[in-house]
């Protein structure tokens, strides 16, 4: 089995594409197959080296290593379409010689006019075939005049083209709705449908797993396979990933690229796991299912992955579920790893100046206070900011704290706390006794008791009690109580 992920380097790796890459990877790894990375950079206008580099980086970050690709080579290279131009030219000539393709000199303006006319008349807009049967000497005439032709594929008329889709079953299109499409652009670069076929055939790709947006391209590609005498691969089209409003996931919905998620402090295993679950379900035994069945490392997913269990309908990306998974994986990760990952965020906050063993060691020691109560690594410094400075006014200004302090009885608790706490520095046990004294005095318990206590602190952790001086605490709590009185 040979599968490939073929991004075009025109921007950052989108999570939807990352999911496509993931499914390809899972299938290859689960079947002892080969995962190929191919760069589709035939759109010279939009392709950039920077995009290519960032896509490779993001794939590696996700743990989706490839066996053949532009940076590591392989037996079927080169792996950038821009380096395979001679191949497309050669096969285009073969197609022309075989009567499957022809030169077209129609101007973009003429084509656009035809399109509009078709639409206005309620016909499917398609190429009218003006140059389809141009005599050789006419072609030569245009060429001599310096015109740059495109090469079009001669689509057989009135036939059904059926291909098997491993996710959806047989899909049929009639060629009546397919006009003679462009194989090679006037600048000599191959168009997508042509390049994929040549590459997939030459790279001996056995399973083409890609987004559903390619489903209607597939009959064109099948036609090219046939004309070239190649056996088409198996196809599998994945339903797209949408935003909460059921429109394609885009910037409007927040983060959409893998690098954005990385920058925001998500762990790769969380993103990968979450993406895999959109459209794929590892479970088969519903009765014994539980959360643990969804929390799977890449290897385990690969072992269980199967296209038969891939859904047919579009899925909505759920940030809440990602957050849940990220919390899970942050807790599962070693504190040294989280320390290393969080360092840059502490640096951004100005809490840590440079990366030293001592700094890392310190972070590691304080991390447990935050991990488990934040969704993302990026939020950790915020959570631990009190270690660098404590300001009662700031604490009181927090919306969540203000809310807590308006709960019934909160004021009494704070007032009691302000007096009860004015003792020596608290340790865990001392804090406990203070808490129970306040409890007795106010008659509050549970949330009603601890919410205000925690609210008065910033951030919510007992460690504050050890770090703040008694004077600071008394002042802070008195300030809180005073606020309540006003």
Which of 453-475 are b and which e, b meaning 16 or more Cβ less than 10 Å from the residue's Cβ? Answer: bbbbbbbbbbbbbeebeeeebbe
Evaluate the CA torsion angle 224, 143, 127, 42 in order and state its sign: positive
Q: How far is the CB of 325 from RNA (least distance, A)?
A: 8
Q: Could you give the C-alpha distances from 110 to 101, 115, 139, 146, 179, in angstroms and in order?
A: 20, 9, 18, 18, 15
End-to-end alpha carbon distance in the chain:
73
Nearer Cβ to RNA (172/486): 172
Nearer Cβ to RNA (359/470): 470
Q: Could you give the C-alpha distances from 480 to 395, 408, 412, 427, in angstroms and in order?
A: 9, 15, 11, 22
Q: How far is the CB of 353 from RNA (least distance, A)?
A: 28
**SS3 of residue 130 by DSSP:** coil
Q: How far is the CB of 468 from RNA (least distance, A)?
A: 14
Q: How far is the CB of 323 from RNA (least distance, A)?
A: 7
Tokens of 34: 């080969």
Cα Rg, the chain, nearest whole Å: 31
How far is residue 321's CA from residue 383's CA, in Å, rounded to a whole number? 21
Is 40:195 a contact under the CB 8 Å cutoff? yes
Nearer Cβ to RNA (361/368): 368
Nearer Cβ to RNA (151/415): 151
Nearer Cβ to RNA (319/347): 319
Q: How far is the CB of 88 from RNA (least distance, A)?
A: 11
Strands 150-153 and 182-184: antiparallel
Q: Strand locations in 247-326, DSSP E?
A: 315-316
Residues with catalytic roles = 251
């Amino acid at each position: 089995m040979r599968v490939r992920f073929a991004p075009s380097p025109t921007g950052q790796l989108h999570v939807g594409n990352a999911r496509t890459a993931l499914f390809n990877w899972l299938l290859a790894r689960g079947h002892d197959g080969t995962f190929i990375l191919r760069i589709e950079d035939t759109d010279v206008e939009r392709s950039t080296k920077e995009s290519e580099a960032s896509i490779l980086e993001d794939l590696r970050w996700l743990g989706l290593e490839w066996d053949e690709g532009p940076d590591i080579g392989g037996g079927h290279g080169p792996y950038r379409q821009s380096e395979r131009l001679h191949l497309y030219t050669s096969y285009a000539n073969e197609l022309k010689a075989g009567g499957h393709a022809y030169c077209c000199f129609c101007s973009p303006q003429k084509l656009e006019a035809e399109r509009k006319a078709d639409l206005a008349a309620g016909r499917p807009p398609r190429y009218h075939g003006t140059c389809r049967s141009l005599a050789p000497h006419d072609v030569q005439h245009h060429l001599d005049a310096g015109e740059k032709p495109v090469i079009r594929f001669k689509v057989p008329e009135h036939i059904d083209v059926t291909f098997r889709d491993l996710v959806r079953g047989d899909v049929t299109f009639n060629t009546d709705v397919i006009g003679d499409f462009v194989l090679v652009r006037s600048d000599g670069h191959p168009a997508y449908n042509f390049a994929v076929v040549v590459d997939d055939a030459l790279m001996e790709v056995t399973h083409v797993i890609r987004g559903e947006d390619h489903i209607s391209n597939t009959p064109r590609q099948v036609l090219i396979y046939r004309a070239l005498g190649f056996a088409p691969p198996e196809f599998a089209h994945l339903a797209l990933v949408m935003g909460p409003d059921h429109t394609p996931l885009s910037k409007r919905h927040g983060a959409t690229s893998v690098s954005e998620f990385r920058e925001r402090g998500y762990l790769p295993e969380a993103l990968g796991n979450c993406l895999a679950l959109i459209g794929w379900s590892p479970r088969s035994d519903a009765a014994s299912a539980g959360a643990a069945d969804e929390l799977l490392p890449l290897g385990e997913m690969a072992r269980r992955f199967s296209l038969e269990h891939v859904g047919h309908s579009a899925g909505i990306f759920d940030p809440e579920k990602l957050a849940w998974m990220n919390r899970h994986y942050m807790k599962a990760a070693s504190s040294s790893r989280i320390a290393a990952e969080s360092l840059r965020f502490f640096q951004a906050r100005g809490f840590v100046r440079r990366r030293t063993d001592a700094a890392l060691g310190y972070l590691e020691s304080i991390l447990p206070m935050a991990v488990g109560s934040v969704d993302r690594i990026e939020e950790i410094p915020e959570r631990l900011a009190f270690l660098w400075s404590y300001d009662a006014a700031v604490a009181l200004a927090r919306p969540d704290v203000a809310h807590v302090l308006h709960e019934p009885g909160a004021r009494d608790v704070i007032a009691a706390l302000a007096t009860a706490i004015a003792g020596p520095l608290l340790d865990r046990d001392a804090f406990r006794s203070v808490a129970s004294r306040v409890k007795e005095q106010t008659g509050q318990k549970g949330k009603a008791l601890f919410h205000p206590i925690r609210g008065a602190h910033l951030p919510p952790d007992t460690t504050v009690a050890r770090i703040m001086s008694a004077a600071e605490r008394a002042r802070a709590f008195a300030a809180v109580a005073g606020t309540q009185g006003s």
